[in-house]
A and B are shown apart, each in its own frame.
Chain A
Amino acid sequence: MATHLLVPLHVKYIQGLGESKDDLAYHLTAHLRLNAIYWGLTALSIVDRQDALDRDEMIEFVMSCWDEDAGAFGAHPNHDAHILATLSAIQILVMQDALDRLDVPKVVKFILSLQQPSGVFAGDSFGEIDTRFSYCAVSALSLLGRLHELDIEKTTNYIIQCRNFDGGFGSCVGAESHAGQVWVCVAALAIMDRLDVVDVPTLAWWLAERQLPSGGLNGRPEKLPDVCYSHWALSSLAILKKLSWIDADKTISFILSAQDSEGGGIADRAGDMVDVFHTVFGIAGLSLLGYPDLLDLDPVYCMPAATIERMGLRKDWQALERRTTTMS
């Protein structure tokens, strides 16, 4: 079992993703293509290998996903526009410093059109609502420098209604707290400078209790651990500045154990099939926990911290100090 991060293998794995057209799974995940590119690019950025994927090719692909009718991005050429894909497209363009390719007013119009009277956002014109989409809207508008066009109070009020007695947040009013929903809500509130509505001691307690004896974190009480919660729960804790409330060493070894030491990539748990989703969130978690030789991840935007800082968007979060050696 690997005891350190297999950076070259992961780089190779991510590079190989675009070339797996002989894999049925590749085609069955076309509806996630733009998200997958964002995940891959972010993972590469954190291991300081952003150059591993061709910039121009990537930008051209992003632009080929543009849905002119809706004025936003689909996940793949000829797929319908959706706020999930749209945020990914914006994040990629930001990281590649290519926002000039974007028809910003049109995208802003699309995003703002999705806000419902209750304050929550729909994912597209078909009206599915979820606090995930609120985060997408807030994050995207912020990255585009257009947050001032958002009705922040209305947006915040809906999130407040999703707050539960355990301090966490659910996907809509009445829904159970879930580490992923906690992150989207807390990060959206952080961007809107409304963290004052978070019950920090209770929520940070709930988040810290996501860590299991294996070192991995689960998403809800009495569930199995999963590498992707290293991002959802750890990023939330970083935003609340309580990242020290869990055992970093154990989480690091849990994430490292989920690596595929043959083909690269990280899985949800040791021995399972890897994917780019768990690869980026595993690396993101390692970065927040101070794993050596990684670049800082911004837990609010889930993008390289340097990029966010350069844009003047950095919020007041706290990761663990970067270590100089693998073992503490």
Chain B
Amino acid sequence: MTSASEEEFDVILLGTGLTESITAAALAKAGVKVAQIDTNPYYGAENASLSLDELIQWADEQNSTSSQERAPYYLLGRFRRGQLRTVPGSKEDIFKSTEITLLEKRRVMRFLMFAASEFEEKPEFQGKKDLPFSEFLDSAFSLSSAMSTVICFALAYCFHPSDSTPNALSRIRRYLRSHGRYGPSSFIIGQYGGAGEIAQGFCRTAAVHGGVYILGRSIRSITPIPSLDAPSDHPEQNAQAPSYDVTLNDFPEHLISRVLISSPLLAPEDLRGSAEYIPLDQSYDHAHFGLTVARCIAIIDQPIIFASAPAAADEEDTEDLEGPKARQPDPSDVASIIFPPSTLENGSDSAAATVIVMGAGTMSTPEGKWIVYIMLPVPENTRLSSEDVLQPYLSHILTLTSVPDSGDQSDHGSSHLLFKLFYLEHNDPPQSPTAPCTSSSSFFITPPSTQHPAEIFDCATSSAETTFWRTIRALQSTRVLQLNNGDDGCATLEVDSFWPPLDRDAEEEEEEEW
């Protein structure tokens, strides 16, 4: 019974991270009545896009020992290593490369074709899938160690050489199959360079379908109550899972919900025992969760300059066929740079560092400024500070802001550093499912976000899909459903798909007609 001080929902979600936001949007599209709550005044939780002021405020609030996680979204253009070399990530890159021998071109291509295929069925995979990825590459494809390193860290984005082979291959396959979907690159850039706008976009989708949003209110209490769908004459005999009464500070109404979904961070301690933890998809490497990661956010006012490779043949001037063209500096607006282990003096010799640079084209900086994000997994009980660990990487990046041999090198670029922030991020590992899934749960905790930069979206989407179906099942098991459509609430919930496809004409390549 809805009174003036109560509002009833099918689902309340705590947190507006990607997983929760995608779940909310999918549920709302399916006709489920949802409310989504975040204690932060902004959308996106750990994936939020913050302004510089907000970032500084956030940093000030962090206690140095228990820093909250904050994974910026990563996206990449090109990719270099050691003395900065382009990563051969496509057939065209390999064809054009002047640094790979002919024989190796064949072998790398064979590897990429393998990785793009249903490799699980292939003989190269069988019997070797339990090898660490770096060893798998050596033993199955006879690649040079330099090429194996590039594939392992710059295509598969392994953190450690020991990362699992099936997961690494899945990442490469996703990368290769993404090629050409939205242009020549496999990567897309979120507005303001991050995932915050995307999480917010899903929230907006949910709102369009009737979702209710409450931000910036802390949770006062969450109380299990007898199921809303229990037979009203004998509520005490109710064998069904409880419903929940949620109250917020500075918010007058009680929010009542059949199902409660929470991010791991916001899940109330006292209810965790009765929660069902949504399992993580196996294709995401569990080694990329629950890590301690050193992070740096810096702002510079000079772009990273890559000496562009000479064009394979530049014949504009026929008289000059033999003359090598001067290498033109190639200032990049967006770049991803990988430092495999042991490639930098004073750098890590066990893990790869990922550097993402974003300029004005990503709308995350004004013209003439670039943000540098650095991340490096570190041992859990490291005594080094995040600054100790990452300063060598930042210094090296700064040297790349000056044109080689231009005489502009004396200051090593440090005068171009405008802002830097270092922190350590500790994540909780995902919970393994507590009990065998029963249909009677009504409180779900979503899996944590991956710390792997190339998998944040995919993993969140996969977790959202699992959460979505689990929630639908829970709702279907309740006797009566109150649907959004405002009828008498006796409709059954019928759901065909997680995210119904958009109606669109499939345009195929058209052969010429004449």
Direct contact between A and B in the complex (CB less than 8 angstroms)?
yes
A contact residues vs B (CB 8 Å cutoff): 132, 178, 180, 218-219, 223-224, 226, 228, 268, 277
Q: Which B residues are in CB contact (< 8 Å) with A178?
A: 512
Whether the pair B511, A224 counts as a contact (CB closer than 8 A) is yes
Q: Is B513 interfacial (CB 8 A cutoff)? A: yes
Q: Which A residues are in CB contact (< 8 Å) with B513?
A: 228, 277
Whether the pair B512, A219 counts as a contact (CB closer than 8 A) is yes
Q: Is B514 interfacial (CB 8 A cutoff)? A: yes
Q: State which of A180, A218, A224, A268 has its C-beta within 8 Å of the C-beta of B514.
A: A180
Q: Which B residues are in CB contact (< 8 Å) with A223?
A: 511
Can you give 5 A-B contacts (C-beta < 8 A)? A132-B514, A180-B512, A223-B511, A224-B509, A226-B511
List the 4 closest pairs (A to B, CB-CB), nearest first: A226-B511, A224-B509, A224-B511, A180-B514
Q: Which A residues are in CB contact (< 8 Å) with B509?
A: 224
Q: How far is the CA of A277 from the CA of B512 in the complex (A)?
A: 13
Q: Which B residues are in CB contact (< 8 Å) with A219?
A: 511-512
Chain A residue nearest to B509 (CB atoms) is: A224
How far does the Cβ of A141 sit from chain B's closest Cβ, in whole Å?
21
Q: Which B residues are in CB contact (< 8 Å) with A218?
A: 511
How far does the Cβ of A216 sit from chain B's closest Cβ, in whole Å?
10
Chain B residue nearest to A232 (CB atoms) is: B514
Contact with A along B483-514 (1 / 0, CB 8 A): 00000000000000000000000000101111
How far does the Cβ of B234 sit from chain A's closest Cβ, in whole Å?
57
Q: How far is the CA of A277 from the CA of B511 in the complex (A)?
A: 14
A-B contact count (CB 8 A): 15
Q: How far is the CA of A224 from the CA of B512 in the complex (A)?
A: 10
Q: How far is the CA of A132 from the CA of B511 in the complex (A)?
A: 18
Q: Which B residues are in CB contact (< 8 Å) with A268?
A: 511
Interface residues of B in 104-135 (CB under 8 A from A): none
How far does the Cβ of B76 sit from chain A's closest Cβ, in whole Å?
29
Taking chain A's interface residues, is the majority helix, strand, or loop, or is none over half, making it mixed?
Answer: loop
Given contacts A178-B512, A180-B514, A226-B511, 4 further A-B contacts (CB under 8 A): A132-B514, A180-B512, A218-B511, A228-B511
Q: Which A residues are in CB contact (< 8 Å) with B512?
A: 178, 180, 219
Q: How far is the CA of A132 from the CA of B512 in the complex (A)?
A: 14
Q: How far is the CA of A52 from the CA of B342 in the complex (A)?
A: 80
Q: How far is the CA of A85 from the CA of B473 in the complex (A)?
A: 64
How far does the Cβ of B372 sit from chain A's closest Cβ, in whole Å?
41
Q: How far is the CA of A178 from the CA of B511 in the complex (A)?
A: 12
Q: How far is the CA of A268 from the CA of B509 in the complex (A)?
A: 12
Q: How far is the CA of A228 from the CA of B511 in the complex (A)?
A: 10
Q: Which A residues are in CB contact (< 8 Å) with B514?
A: 132, 180
Q: Which A residues are in CB contact (< 8 Å) with B511?
A: 218-219, 223-224, 226, 228, 268
The residue among B509, B512, B513, B514 with the most chain A CB atoms within 10 A of its own CB is B514
Chain A residue nearest to B512 (CB atoms) is: A219
Q: How far is the CA of A38 from the CA of B511 in the complex (A)?
A: 22
How far does the Cβ of A280 sit from chain B's closest Cβ, in whole Å?
14
Q: How far is the CA of A222 from the CA of B351 in the complex (A)?
A: 43
Q: How far is the CA of A219 from the CA of B511 in the complex (A)?
A: 8
Chain A residue nearest to B514 (CB atoms) is: A180
Chain B residue nearest to A272 (CB atoms) is: B508
Q: How far is the CA of A89 from the CA of B512 in the complex (A)?
A: 24
Chain B residue nearest to A275 (CB atoms) is: B513
Q: How far is the CA of A45 from the CA of B514 in the complex (A)?
A: 22
Q: How far is the CA of A192 from the CA of B209 in the complex (A)?
A: 71
How far does the Cβ of B180 sit from chain A's closest Cβ, in whole Å?
15
Q: How far is the CA of A224 from the CA of B510 in the complex (A)?
A: 9
How far does the Cβ of B415 sit from chain A's closest Cβ, in whole Å?
52
Chain B residue nearest to A229 (CB atoms) is: B511
How far does the Cβ of A184 sit from chain B's closest Cβ, in whole Å?
10
Q: How far is the CA of A140 from the CA of B41 in the complex (A)?
A: 79
How far does the Cβ of B112 sit from chain A's closest Cβ, in whole Å?
19
Q: How far is the CA of A176 from the CA of B195 in the complex (A)?
A: 47
How far does the Cβ of B113 sit from chain A's closest Cβ, in whole Å?
16
Q: Which B residues are in CB contact (< 8 Å) with A224?
A: 509, 511
Q: How far is the CA of A13 from the CA of B40 in the complex (A)?
A: 66
Q: How far is the CA of A180 from the CA of B513 in the complex (A)?
A: 10
How far does the Cβ of A128 sit from chain B's closest Cβ, in whole Å?
12
Q: How far is the CA of A228 from the CA of B510 in the complex (A)?
A: 13
Q: Which B residues are in CB contact (< 8 Å) with A180?
A: 512, 514
How far does the Cβ of B433 sit from chain A's closest Cβ, in whole Å?
43
Chain B residue nearest to A171 (CB atoms) is: B514
Q: How far is the CA of A218 from the CA of B512 in the complex (A)?
A: 10
Contact with A along B135-160 (1 / 0, CB 8 A): 00000000000000000000000000
Chain B residue nearest to A220 (CB atoms) is: B512
The residue among B509, B511, B512 with the most chain A CB atoms within 10 A of its own CB is B511
Q: How far is the CA of A191 from the CA of B511 in the complex (A)?
A: 28
Q: How far is the CA of A318 from the CA of B16 in the complex (A)?
A: 72
Q: How far is the CA of A92 from the CA of B512 in the complex (A)?
A: 25
Chain B residue nearest to A184 (CB atoms) is: B514
How far does the Cβ of B416 sit from chain A's closest Cβ, in whole Å?
47
Q: How far is the CA of A226 from the CA of B511 in the complex (A)?
A: 7
Q: How far is the CA of A206 from the CA of B514 in the complex (A)?
A: 21
Chain B residue nearest to A132 (CB atoms) is: B514
How far does the Cβ of B256 sit from chain A's closest Cβ, in whole Å?
51
Q: How far is the CA of A104 from the CA of B511 in the complex (A)?
A: 36
Q: How far is the CA of A228 from the CA of B509 in the complex (A)?
A: 15
Q: How far is the CA of A226 from the CA of B513 in the complex (A)?
A: 10
How far does the Cβ of B99 sit from chain A's closest Cβ, in whole Å?
27
Q: How far is the CA of A218 from the CA of B509 in the complex (A)?
A: 13
Q: How far is the CA of A219 from the CA of B514 in the complex (A)?
A: 12
How far does the Cβ of A35 sit from chain B's closest Cβ, in whole Å?
11
Q: Which B residues are in CB contact (< 8 Å) with A226?
A: 511
Q: How far is the CA of A223 from the CA of B512 in the complex (A)?
A: 10
How far does the Cβ of A182 sit from chain B's closest Cβ, in whole Å?
13
Q: How far is the CA of A121 from the CA of B514 in the complex (A)?
A: 17
Q: How far is the CA of A224 from the CA of B511 in the complex (A)?
A: 7
Q: How far is the CA of A276 from the CA of B345 in the complex (A)?
A: 71
How far does the Cβ of B509 sit from chain A's closest Cβ, in whole Å?
6
